[in-house]
């Protein structure tokens, strides 16, 4: 368990660092795009103001370099997703093996589903109350069926963290595709309005859903040292 928690913490730290690098490059790219719009689309008239002069070609190269940086960051994000998938597979195999051994050891037990003791089970009682109670039981069982981790005094379900990581990977893949389109189109648009729309796509990153944003915060909070931990380190 300690190894699982340590591996998960390392991977979530890598993910958090990658996301921060992504944000930094998005900001740098937005500054370049703002400069391009102010010079290449100064008014609402149709078409670029000028053909690409040498300085614009340099600007295009800078923006392409930032896109390449985003691609490298995406590769880091995808690597975390792949590694965490391996963590989940090992955890599931370990859990399945443990459950199998428990079932084998329980074959000699005298307990029976038809015994009076089973009637006192809360699951048996709630199943007779109605659909709502049974639904609640099923949902709770699903939420808490995974292995629990404790990282920096924060409890997390290993399967739930897997959902967070995969959602983040999928969203950043989609957003990188949009960023590619922005860089490809920004110097060849028909109007300032179109250029401003492309800048909005670059800056606001619509492919990063609200769930993705939430999961990013969850991951960063899990690996962030808590105040009492910092106090202990400083006093040591």
SS3 assignment for the chain = CHHHHHHHHHHHHHHHHHHHHHHHHHHHHHHHHHHHHHHHCCCCCCCCCCCCCHHHHHHHHHHHHHHHHHHHHHHHHHHHHHHHHHHHHHHHHHHHHHHHHHHHHCCCCCCCCCCHHHHHCHHHHHHCCCHHHHHHHHHHHHHCCCCEEEECCEEEEHHHHHHHHHHHHHHHHHHHHHHHHHHHHCCCCCCHHHHHHHHHHHHHCCCCCHHHHHHHHHHHHHHCCCHHHHHHHHHC
Token pair of 215, please? 């999961």
Domain for residue 75, yes or no?
Answer: yes
More confidently predicted of 222 and 152: 222
CA dist list (Å): 109 to 12, 99, 105: 43, 16, 8
Q: What is the mean pLDDT of residues 227-231?
A: 53
Domain for residue 151, yes or no?
Answer: yes
Domain for residue 106, yes or no?
Answer: no
Q: 198 pLDDT exceeds 80?
A: yes
- Whether the model clears a pTM of 0.75, i.e. scores above it, the answer is no
Q: 168 pLDDT exceeds 60?
A: yes
pLDDT for the residue 71: 98
More confidently predicted of 166 and 92: 166
pLDDT in tens, 54-108: 568 899 999 999 999 999 999 999 999 999 998 888 776 655 544 444 444 444 4
Burial of 177 (0-12, 13-18, 19+ CB in 10 A): exposed
29 lies in which domain range?
Answer: 2-93+137-224
Q: What is the mean pLDDT of residues 162-169?
A: 96
pLDDT band, very low/low/confident/very high, at 5 (cuts 50, 70, 90): confident
pLDDT for the residue 89: 84
Domain for residue 85, yes or no?
Answer: yes
With contact defined as beta carbons under 8 Å apart, do 189 and 45 qualify? no
pLDDT band, very low/low/confident/very high, at 111 (cuts 50, 70, 90): very low
Domain for residue 196, yes or no?
Answer: yes
Domain for residue 114, yes or no?
Answer: no
Q: What is the mean pLDDT of residues 220-229?
A: 77
Question: Residue 195, Cβ neighbours under 10 Å: how many?
Answer: 24
d(CA 15, CA 4): 16
Q: Which of 84-98, 152-166, 214-228 has the lowest mean pLDDT?
A: 84-98
Q: Which of 85-89, 141-145, 169-173 has the lowest mean pLDDT?
A: 141-145
Q: 200 pLDDT exceeds 90?
A: yes
Q: What is the mean pLDDT of residues 183-191?
A: 94
pLDDT for the residue 188: 92
Q: What is the total count of domains within the chain?
A: 1
Q: 203 pLDDT exceeds 60?
A: yes
Domain for residue 30, yes or no?
Answer: yes
Domain for residue 121, yes or no?
Answer: no
With contact defined as beta carbons under 8 Å apart, do 75 and 15 qualify? no
């Amino acid at each position: 368990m300690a190894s699982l928690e340590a591996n998960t913490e390392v991977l979530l730290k890598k993910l958090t660092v990658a996301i921060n690098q992504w944000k930094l490059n998005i900001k740098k790219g937005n500054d370049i795009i703002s400069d391009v719009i102010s010079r290449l689309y100064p008014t609402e008239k149709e078409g670029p103001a000028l053909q690409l002069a040498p300085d614009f070609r340099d600007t295009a190269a800078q923006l392409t370099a930032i896109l390449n940086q985003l691609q490298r960051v995406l590769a880091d994000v995808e690597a975390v997703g792949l590694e965490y998938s391996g963590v989940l597979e090992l955890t599931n195999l370990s859990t399945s093996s443990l459950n199998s051994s428990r079932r084998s050891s329980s074959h000699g037990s005298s307990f029976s589903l038809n015994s009076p003791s089973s009637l006192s089970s809360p699951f048996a009682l709630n199943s007779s109350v109605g659909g709502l109670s049974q639904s609640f039981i099923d949902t709770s069982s699903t939420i808490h069926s995974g292995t629990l981790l404790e990282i920096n005094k924060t409890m997390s379900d290993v399967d739930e963290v897997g959902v967070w990581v995969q959602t983040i990977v999928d969203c950043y893949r989609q957003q990188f595709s949009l960023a590619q389109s922005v860089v490809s189109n920004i110097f060849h648009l028909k109007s300032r309005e179109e250029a401003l729309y492309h800048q909005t796509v670059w800056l606001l990153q619509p492919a990063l859903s609200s769930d993705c944003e939430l999961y990013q915060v969850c991951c960063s909070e899990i690996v962030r040292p808590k105040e009492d931990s910092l106090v202990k380190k400083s006093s040591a």
